Amino acid sequence: MRIGVDIGGTKTEAVAIDGAGRVIEEMRVPTGFGADAVIASTVAAVTELADRLGTTPPAFGAIGVGVPGAVDPASGRVAHAVNLGLDDLALGDELAARLGVRVRLENDVNVAALGAFHLLGLGAERSMAYLNLGTGLAAGLVLGGRLWRGSRGTAGEIGHIPVDPAGELCSCGQRGCLELLASGSAVARQWPTEHPRPVQNLFEAAAAGDALAIEVRQRFIDNVASAVRVLVLTVDVDDVVIGGGITSLGAPLLEAIREVLASWSAQSEFLASLELPSRVGLAPAGPVASVGAALLGDLASSIEPDLV
Amino acid sequence: MRIGVDIGGTKTEAVAIDGAGRVIEEMRVPTGFGADAVIASTVAAVTELADRLGTTPPAFGAIGVGVPGAVDPASGRVAHAVNLGLDDLALGDELAARLGVRVRLENDVNVAALGAFHLLGLGAERSMAYLNLGTGLAAGLVLGGRLWRGSRGTAGEIGHIPVDPAGELCSCGQRGCLELLASGSAVARQWPTEHPRPVQNLFEAAAAGDALAIEVRQRFIDNVASAVRVLVLTVDVDDVVIGGGITSLGAPLLEAIREVLASWSAQSEFLASLELPSRVGLAPAGPVASVGAALLGDLASSIEPDLV
């Protein structure tokens, strides 16, 4: 049995999985803001989960924790997790001291990639990119069954590839970044709404025939498809799995992305040969990030956290 | 001792390397055109090389062969090698039958990546992209010391990532592909010349103050730098090594690329954190592709041809 935790911007989710990787218990608590509160809410989630299982955290050899921001798995430090109020925190050590277990820390998109790979039942010979459509745009890569973090943990940062020299200025200092066109914040900027789910609201308005909504929706979908193309052309993963909150849109989202990819294939024999529409899918339902974090916890797992 | 062959558009190069990977013998013959002639020139190169070493090809357990085009290493077939006049040829089997050895076939950019990785003395913990600036633009990836071909052998095909919606139509059917801006053919189109080395001629004209040459040169360098950025943001390799004929330009080419990357870093804290200028370099002198091909020949080598 292994425990994994995903520290999200609003909620912290903890799961326990059995030896076969099935979720046997899960729970959520609100995420605190700032170092002390984030540590406290994470400790509370793990302790409560262990309690429900009739045990205590030290009974687990190690737990895995996914967190947004720049994470150094070797040192267990996290930097620049702005929406959690964290900057350069030794989160791994802090949690380990309070919980009495070894803690493996990893970036949230990377653990979601591992979790999706596992929940989709993909084998060790497969490769997959998890394309996270959140406020920003980033991907996690699982190559040959293993998480590929890259040399400095920045693999999959495709949101900051410029795709239009005439595009807007990005907060990263570049112009025309893909993230400005294919992300939750991209939609929020082009389709201002008080709706709690702006992308869903956009799709509903587009389905109802609103001309601006149709235009904004198409630009968004076109650029999500561009992100898929970047991942396949560069890394040539078997599959690109779309993840993040907006996957609750379900089949209409996937069909729209596939339509764009198919229209490109009709114009390019080269792209057609890559069979992009059949290689894109949606992340599975379920707690992908916390399951992925749990898989980090066991170094003996067939899914290793590092390639090298 | 291992033998590797690189079948290029004009010449075929064969090398023998010793157990430590040092080149102990090498030779070149003109490459034939069409299936029979390509097979004949490759057989001649290998037979002559073995003869110089006082032996015959069957004395080698296997030889590695790099060839342009779409290569299936499992079947030893090559498709679409237009400038060799090959289409769907069982080149591996044909060579094996004539030479009496097992043949491992691989794409030319991929073997060059393996060879550069080896000749640079990079260790198994390192990752590297070999960015080949030839007629087209493509990269070979070595991740954690191993060649990453991708799921269908198309990893590193970054030349067909569109980077400008207002760009020219590419022969692949898309618009604004990176290859239209950062490749030998891109330079040839923008700087027509009878000079045998158009990029060298362009750089000389730019150095002499020709306004058009300066503009074309800068556009070329900017987009080579873009290719470096795509590779680092997506795969996060330690190093990007520039290869292909134009690397004979040497230090001025590398310095120009580094200047562009440094100017971007000055505008983007995010890019600055990636330290791109220090991560780009030139391919080593020497027969990178044939050495890489030789490394394919020995499955017991620490450098495996496949990741999975």
User: Where residue B145 falls among pLDDT bands split at 50, 70, 90?
Assistant: confident
Q: Which of B264, B270, B273 to mutate to test the interface with A (most CBs of A within 10 A)?
A: B270
Task: Say whether pLDDT at B307 is over 80.
Answer: no
Query: Are the C-beta atoms of residues A242 and A277 closer than 8 Å to each other?
Result: no
Query: Are the C-beta atoms of residues B9 and B244 closer than 8 Å to each other?
Result: no
pLDDT reported for residue A297: 59
Rounded mean pLDDT of A276-296?
96
Task: Write out chain A in H/E/C secondary structure.
Answer: CEEEEEECCCEEEEEEECCCCCEEEEEEEECCCCHHHHHHHHHHHHHHHHHHCCCCHHHCCEEEEEECCEEECCCCEEECEHHHCECCECHHHHHHHHHCCEEEEEEHHHHHHHHHHHHCCCCCCCCEEEEEECCCEEEEEEECCEEECCCCCCCCCHHHCECCCCCCECCCCCECEHHHCCCHHHHHHHCCCCCCCHHHHHHHHHHCCCHHHHHHHHHHHHHHHHHHHHHHHHHCCCEEEEECHHHHHCHHHHHHHHHHHHHHHHHCHHHHHCCHHHHEEECCCCCHHHHHHHHHCCCCCCCCCCCC
Instruction: Give CA–CA dist A296/A96, Å, rounded.
Output: 15
Task: Say whether pLDDT at A187 is over 90.
Answer: yes
User: Where residue B290 falls among pLDDT bands split at 50, 70, 90?
Assistant: very high
| Weakest-pLDDT range from A219-223, B31-35, B296-300 | B296-300
**Using CA of residue A213, residue A219, residue A225, residue A227, what is the dihedral sign?**
negative
Task: Say whether pLDDT at A303 is over 80.
Answer: no
Helix B198-207 crosses helix B251-267 at what angle (to 10 degrees)? 70
How big is the A-B interface in CB pairs under 8 Å? 145
Residue B115's alpha-carbon distances to B13, B183, B235, in angstroms, are 13, 21, 20
Task: Say whether pLDDT at A46 is over 80.
Answer: yes
User: Where residue A20 falls among pLDDT bands split at 50, 70, 90?
Assistant: confident
A43-57: burial string, b at 16+ Cβ within 10 Å, e else = bbbbeebbeeeeeeb
Task: Say whether pLDDT at A115 is over 80.
Answer: yes
**A contacts of B125 (beta carbons < 8 Å):** 308
User: Which residue in chain B has the smallest CA separation from A164?
Assistant: B164
Contact A307 B151 (CB under 8 A): no
User: Where residue A122 falls among pLDDT bands split at 50, 70, 90?
Assistant: very high
Q: Which amino acid is at A228?
A: V
In this predicted model, which residue has the larger pLDDT, A247 or A176?
Answer: A176
Which tokens go with A288? 């992908």
User: Where residue A301 falls among pLDDT bands split at 50, 70, 90?
Assistant: very low
Give the H/E segment covering residue B30.
Answer: strand B23-30
In this predicted model, which residue has the larger pLDDT, B109 or A124?
Answer: B109
Residues in a beta bridge with B104: B64
Residues in a beta bridge with B132: B138, B243
**B contacts of A261 (beta carbons < 8 Å):** none
Task: Say whether pLDDT at B303 is over 50.
Answer: no
Q: Which of A270, A273, A302, A304 to mutate to test the interface with B (most CBs of B within 10 A)?
A: A270
Contact A236 B153 (CB under 8 A): yes
pLDDT reported for residue A287: 95
Task: Say whether pLDDT at A179 is over 90.
Answer: yes
Tell me phi and psi for residue B282, to 5 degrees: -105, 150
Give the whole-number percent of chain A exceeding pLDDT 90: 88
User: Which residue in chain B has the smallest CA separation from A129?
Assistant: B234
pLDDT reported for residue A305: 39
pLDDT reported for residue A61: 83
Contacts with B55 (C-beta within 8 Å, 6 or more apart), sequence order: none
- DSSP secondary structure letter of residue B224: H
pLDDT reported for residue A308: 26
Which of B155, B235, B270 faces A160 most closely, judged by CB atoms? Answer: B270
Which tokens go with B163? 């980077």
Instruction: Give CA–CA dist A135/A130, Å, rounded.
Output: 15
Which of B151, B173, B235 faces A127 most closely, judged by CB atoms? Answer: B151
Give the H/E segment covering residue B256.
Answer: helix B251-267
Task: Say whether pLDDT at A304 is over 70.
Answer: no
- DSSP secondary structure letter of residue B283: P
Residue A230's alpha-carbon distances to A120, A226, A271, in angstroms, are 22, 6, 12
User: Which residue in chain A has the smallest CA separation from B138?
Assistant: A234
User: Using CA atoms in the order B262, B263, B268, B273, what is the torsion angle rounded to 10 degrees?
Assistant: 0
Task: Say whether pLDDT at B82 is over 90.
Answer: no
Contact A234 B232 (CB under 8 A): no
Q: Which amino acid is at A61?
A: G
Which tokens go with B71? 């290569």
Average pLDDT over chain A, rounded to an integer:
93
- Strands B11-17 and B23-30 come out as antiparallel
Task: Say whether pLDDT at A124 is over 90.
Answer: no
Rounded mean pLDDT of B71-79?
95
- DSSP secondary structure letter of residue B175: B
User: Which residue in chain A has the smallest CA separation from B162?
Assistant: A163
Residues in a beta bridge with A243: A132
Give the H/E segment covering residue B74.
Answer: none
In this predicted model, which residue has the larger pLDDT, B222 or A80?
Answer: B222
3-state class (DSSP) for residue B176? coil
Contact B166 A162 (CB under 8 A): no
Model pTM score: 0.94
| Weakest-pLDDT range from A18-22, A62-66, A201-205, B298-302 | B298-302
Write out pLDDT tens, residues A233-259.
999 999 999 999 888 899 999 999 999
Task: Say whether pLDDT at A15 is over 80.
Answer: yes
CA-based nearest residue to A183, from A205, A142, A216: A216
Contacts with B83 (C-beta within 8 Å, 6 or more apart), sequence order: B9, B68
Q: Which amino acid is at A98?
A: R
**A contacts of B234 (beta carbons < 8 Å):** 155-158, 161, 230-231, 234-235
Q: Which amino acid is at B67?
A: V
Contact A173 B238 (CB under 8 A): no
Average pLDDT over chain B, rounded to an integer:
93
Contacts with A40 (C-beta within 8 Å, 6 or more apart), sequence order: A32
Rounded mean pLDDT of B75-89?
92
Contact A234 B268 (CB under 8 A): no
Task: Say whether pLDDT at B234 is over 80.
Answer: yes
User: Where residue B173 falls among pLDDT bands split at 50, 70, 90?
Assistant: very high
Contacts with A192 (C-beta within 8 Å, 6 or more apart), sequence order: none
Rounded mean pLDDT of B116-121?
95
The ipTM is 0.94
> Tokens 């090559």 correspond to what residue?
B78
pLDDT reported for residue B169: 96
Instruction: Give CA–CA dist B299/A76, Å, rounded.
Output: 37
**Using CA of residue A34, residue A37, residue A42, residue A43, what is the dihedral sign?**
positive
**A contacts of B174 (beta carbons < 8 Å):** 264, 267-268, 270-271
Rounded mean pLDDT of B42-71?
95
The full length of chain B comes to 308
Instruction: Give CA–CA dist A307/A150, Å, rounded.
Output: 9
Give the whole-number percent of chain B exceeding pLDDT 70: 96
Contact A234 B149 (CB under 8 A): no
- Strands A146-148 and A137-143 come out as antiparallel
pLDDT reported for residue B81: 87
C-alpha R_g of chain B: 19
